[in-house]
Structure 1
Amino acid sequence: MEEVNIYNTSQDNSSSLTYNYEYYKQVAFIMNVVTIIIICVGLPLTLVAIYAVRSLVKDDHVVPIYVINLLITDLIQLCCLITWVLPEDWILPWTELISYIMYFYCLVASIGFMVCIALERYLVIACPLWYCVRQTIKVSVLVCVVVWALPAVIFCLFIAARNSATISGILLLLPLPLFIFFLGGTLKALSASISVHSDEKRRIVGMLVLVLLIYTLLFLPTIILFLARGSSGIDKRKLSNLSFTFLKLSPLADLFLYIFMRKGTIDKLLASVCCCRMDSDDISSPV
């Protein structure tokens, strides 16, 4: 009787292992297909966007510098994704490790450049005089050098600190209150700003909202999962696959920042949204 029970138990375990293997094999296949689509769409569009944004750099308009650096981090991430979908026989053993290091290095740097973009857009509305005097291309280039060096500092803390995961997660979580503050401060200072055209104001607010959405929807799930790595009761493998897929979508989402830098169709769209909101406010307000 005991032999029968042992046989049934071993049979159930083997069937469970087979099911898990087949399930994760399907998940890996789906993730590879999604990654290939992201590469095929994002790589050419990112190259075009970098070339287009480069022509917008002027002495009095330095935000394209931060956007260009953000797109460069996206370009490196997309190149790293290529090594992940290639057959194992095509790449060297150490290539995958280097690609992972470069990918996450550029991922952290992209968050830093998103903070720079949000800060620059906030200063245009909240402190226009200070911005015109102090914000130059030299200052922006210096800031970019600091942002590119910042991931190395975080990685050193991750290696040296005892609670490295918690410390790194908290550092990556710091941009969230900054994004909220920049957006709230910009909305508060809009009525007092007279030196910025109304179309430019709408583009600035749209860019700040987009940066906040990109960080919240694509980066924040991975950061929260990173901080909760010690908790139990959740299937972390499924959640990590889903959150990692969100991270892969960030280069495509960053391309929309270029749209908010161009005058034209986006101005009409934002103007219509603002007009609809004003009309609804007028209707709902008592006479």
Structure 2
Amino acid sequence: MVTLRSTAFAAAGLVALLLAAGCGGGSSSSANTTEASGDSYGNCKVSGKRGEFKLNPVVADTLSVQGDLPSPGWWNGDTVAQIKDGYEYCMAANIAYRAGLSKLAIENTPFDALVSGRTQNFDMALAEISITDERKKVVNFSAPYFASNIGVMIKNGTDASAANIKKLRLGVKQGTAGALWVANTLKPEQQPKVFANDPEMSAALQAGQIDAALQDVAIMLGSAQKSNGLLKVAGQFDTGESYGALYPKNSANADTINKIIDQMKSDGTLDKLSADYLAKAFGGDPAAIPQWQAS
């Protein structure tokens, strides 16, 4: 698996905002169901033994997955209906296949609604969600399946560095671990602007409304790759964070899905998904991005 190497505002107020219900309101914007044709879901190539594991999904014969879409490399496509591959989409497809489920239902859900436990009727969520103790109070997580740092994305030509980052106008995504890290650890001089989703934050950066966007480096690299050279990831902060699949609190399927994820880690499936989708989306080696230290 690709592993990424590894006068202040009132942080408590921002933390409360980020953990509370956000402007997304918790309602899903769209949904799509893919029915397997033979042994394939969308463009994904599945592996392992079909039906080796047994689940009790919320919808019969269907793995219902929520995510904050789209996300280059992880969920490829501009709309839910267009998404047919990507690391997390094909990760879900492999789970459905190994559980013997013939359908994969994808639902677009605001990120803050996912991490605050305000969504219902799903089996799991995959949205590059960092595992935190605060989130564990309302949802359950799988073991980590991907490690990530916080990337700093800027518009080409912007003077941004570890030395002046605190003085810049920063943007963060609502409800993310990156937003909490900015509030609690980086502590910039100006309160960051909070965005509901990644495309909105990227657009604000291109428009000059903010000087830098801070979010998981894997996501920032994907966003920069889609900007036609307007944006770049200038640095990354090592936070030691990892992504995990999110389950509804007290999910009866958590242990079984955990076993499938562990199997995919050990048999190389997740490594292959990373090579197939993330390396292309990143447009370069994440390890080559300069490491910045928060002071």
**TM-score of the aligned structures, taking structure 1 as reference length:** 0.23
Larger % of helix: which? 1
Larger % of strand: which? 2
**TM-score of the aligned structures, taking structure 2 as reference length:** 0.22
- Higher-Rg structure is 1
